[in-house]
Amino acid sequence: MAMRYPEICINTAVISKNTETVVKLCADKGIHVWGVTKGVSAHPAVASAMLEGGCQGLADSRVDNIRKLRLFGFRNPMMLLRIPMPGEMDEVAETADCCLVSMPGSVLML
């Protein structure tokens, strides 16, 4: 008997519809929604579904994931969901549109 590996099936139509529902609920309160792609390793189909559902942009805590989305052609706003390390500043400035900063000196490094 052949060994079967776990498999995840992603229903992008459901992701898009759920995103649309959340975006509408938040819009009534003046809240803008960003899709977080970290949990799916920036899977392009999931990212597209969240944008189709109305997300203003995409966010991730991994610079590699943001770069991956850019390489796949995503031109929407991107946010790094953590404070960048000093050695990442150049790449963050090139790939992300915004990031978290805790020290004024970090802004100067970007």
10-residue averages of pLDDT along the chain (110 residues) = 83 98 97 97 98 99 98 98 91 94 70
pLDDT given at position 11: 98
E strands in the chain: 34-36, 57-60, 78-80, 98-99
Please state the pTM of the whole predicted model.
Answer: 0.87
pLDDT given at position 107: 66
Q: What domains lie within the chain, and their CATH numbers?
A: 31-109 (3.20.20.10)
Q: Which helix (H) or strand (E) holds 7?
A: none
Ramachandran bin of 41, using left for φ above 0, alpha for ψ from -120 to 50, beta for the remaining angles: left
Select from 57, 59, 33, 35 the least CA-distant residue to 46.
35
pLDDT given at position 108: 65
